[in-house]
Chain A
């Protein structure tokens, strides 16, 4: 669309607009970028007061951990091709092996394999090749940039962060699947029913959405801790203590998330023309058959978007998981609180930074892959609802 003459902007306005945009981008990305840089440095560098020390890491370099110019060039080249491949070839591969309802699963498996191969090549293969080359090249092979992965090794290896990671994955996977299954049905029902009851249900859900989570957790805790005794008359000795159980937390998070899920899915279902299932009904389908055969094949974009937000809720939650899970089943986000509670040395602090970056990395990939869906999800509720 060509801008008409009346709408043209003065140079000063265009410049200040662009300047503000650059300013915002810097502010938005800087803290995240900075913790990523910090996590690769020796403690003294990571918390140095000069930014250049943090970036170049002289102390890290002095300890013998560093990259030469050759390392940086080759690393950047590999990184560039890896990212390009991820954007050009990977989607094709995923859609070839998984389609329809399995797209999400395909993406998850694809992303996991990709991440694994990437880590192997980047941290396994590259050092093997580059180390002898650096020795041969002389001055070009001298390390110039301090960089160490020791904190990641410490976090994931010694501190067994992978346990927390697995717990996080278990909780989020449970939250996403159950909340989508339950929410899709309800969202469809609400979208297709114009009754007053449906309206009041939605209002009730909106009120539930406003409740602070700590209010609800205060309601669960006494029951969850004593559940074994409360349930004994019904289940006998098999009755479980719900406190500390991941699946109890999944049920809680699903319910907390339900108001939001049904609102969002309802607005997606409203965009699917109701003539579609009416036609199926005329052809003799029941409501459930119409839902299964006609609506299910076309609902995936909305479901994937809603699933992303459910994922974020389960993954980012601190309050519910920290109160309802014991140390053994702890997820990643509350586990990081453990780091800074015992944070006595600067090494501990940098390990906390590395853990924080480890938590952020999957989210970063998520935005990269699903940017469009996230944006459409954010606007779906607001613009149309």
Chain B
């Protein structure tokens, strides 16, 4: 295919990706070094309240935004360098905490709290998702043929469900004296509330993520299992390999490319953990990096959006994903170089 035809085919898609992905990235980078604020002036305002005989008047200095002829606030944009990053990272507090050796204080700061949760969440759910997915695939492969269709159907439900709704559906099982909380209270004999401290919420989030993503891993592993070489497997049996050794030395090496693929996709998707925070309403206890940016972007009570801080935290989020993906991407790259391509 000539370059010109290739370009003609790809152009619309490329145009959209440049306009709505690449350019916004540049824009975010620039915004993170700028601050846009309304211009404020100090003016004397006289407020009068009706009183007996004469009105009681007080004059005070107020800061009010300057309006242009259309009644809109005039804003200025200035370069502030790394100020927004400083506001997000709050390094002075971090150093103070390190100086006094109190690590838990670092985790009180929004950004570090979010970073801790996001990384732990991504890295801990990864082996769980792969393990549970593989287990389901192996058992489904073991089941009677007629059962496989319905089982795949049921397994797809948690995967396909709207993430917010999925998180909510688990939230509602536990909220207040929901049936599962009531059940646990009956067993333990103590009063349990699942949404009053961080670690129980986190536990439920781990459960939710595995519940939501394991079907994806399962379907891919299941397809991979169909192509396992039966002869190799049988000769392994004749050589005296037990079930566990066969799994370890025949099946898992065969599935390795798929495991890498799932790990890659999972790292990408799980790093943007966000819907769980909304569904479980855990803002006060557990937050994630993407939620932090979202929170800066939503207007506060005065209707202002903290665009500069959002941009700074967005850039920091991006740096994180780059670090996270370097390892699996390098492996894919080596495979590509060494492969039949």
A binding-site residues for B, Cβ under 8 Å: 4, 6-7, 9, 13-14, 17-18, 20-21, 24-25, 27-29, 31-32, 34-35, 38, 47-51, 54, 181-183, 185-186, 188-190, 192-193, 195, 197-198, 201, 204-206, 208-223, 251-252, 254-256, 258-259, 262, 287-288, 291, 312, 315-316, 318-319, 323, 333, 336-337, 340, 352-353, 356, 359-360, 363-364, 366-368, 371, 374-375, 378-379, 381-383
Contacts and interface: CB of A to CB of B under 8 A. Distances in A.
Contacts of A197: 3, 6
B163 interface: yes
B169 A255 contact: no
Contacts of B8: 189, 288
A373 B283 CA distance: 37
Which 3 pairs of residues, A with B, have the shortest CB-CB distance?
Answer: A219-B24, A189-B9, A255-B20
B153 A368 contact: yes
A367 B17 contact: no
B6 A255 contact: no
A142 B274 CA distance: 48
A218 B307 contact: yes
Contacts of A218: 24, 28, 31, 293, 296-297, 307, 310-311, 314
Given A27-B211, A49-B179, A188 B21 contact: no
B157 A367 contact: yes
Interface stretch (B39-47, B48-56, B93-101, B136-144): B136-144
A32 to B, nearest CB: 6
A382 B220 contact: yes
B12 A185 contact: yes
Given A27-B211, A190-B9, A255-B16, 9 more contacts: A208-B22, A211-B25, A215-B25, A318-B163, A318-B274, A353-B172, A366-B160, A367-B157, A383-B223
Interface stretch (B58-66, B195-203, B231-239): B231-239
B238 to A, nearest CB: 7
B156 interface: yes
Given A218-B310, A220-B24, A208 B17 contact: yes
Given A47-B178, A383-B220, A371 B143 contact: no
Contacts of B258: 382-383
Contacts of B172: 34-35, 38, 353
Interface of B: 1, 3, 5-6, 8-10, 12-14, 16-17, 19-28, 31, 36, 135-136, 138-140, 142-143, 147, 149, 151-158, 160-166, 168-170, 172-173, 175-179, 181-182, 211, 215-216, 219-220, 223-224, 227, 233-234, 237-238, 243, 258, 261-262, 268, 271-272, 274-275, 278, 281, 289-290, 293-294, 296-298, 305, 307, 310-311, 314-315, 317-318, 321, 325, 329
A95 to B, nearest CB: 21
Contact of A6 (B140, B151, B234): B234
Nearest to B234: A6
Given A13-B243, A216-B21, A359-B165, A25 B151 contact: yes
Contacts of A210: 268, 271, 321, 325
B274 A214 contact: yes
20 contacts: A9-B142, A24-B139, A28-B157, A31-B158, A32-B161, A34-B173, A38-B172, A47-B177, A185-B9, A189-B8, A205-B17, A212-B289, A214-B317, A221-B307, A251-B16, A258-B17, A333-B164, A375-B223, A378-B216, A379-B223
Contacts of A288: 5, 8
Contacts of A374: 156, 160
B234 A363 contact: no
Given A6-B234, A375-B219, A367 B153 contact: yes
Given A212-B317, A216-B24, A337 B237 contact: no
Contacts of B177: 47, 49
A255 B17 contact: yes
A65 to B, nearest CB: 21
Nearest to A252: B20
Nearest to B223: A379
A215 B293 contact: yes
B215 A28 contact: yes
Contacts of B274: 212, 214, 318-319
Nearest to A46: B172
A51 B22 CA distance: 51
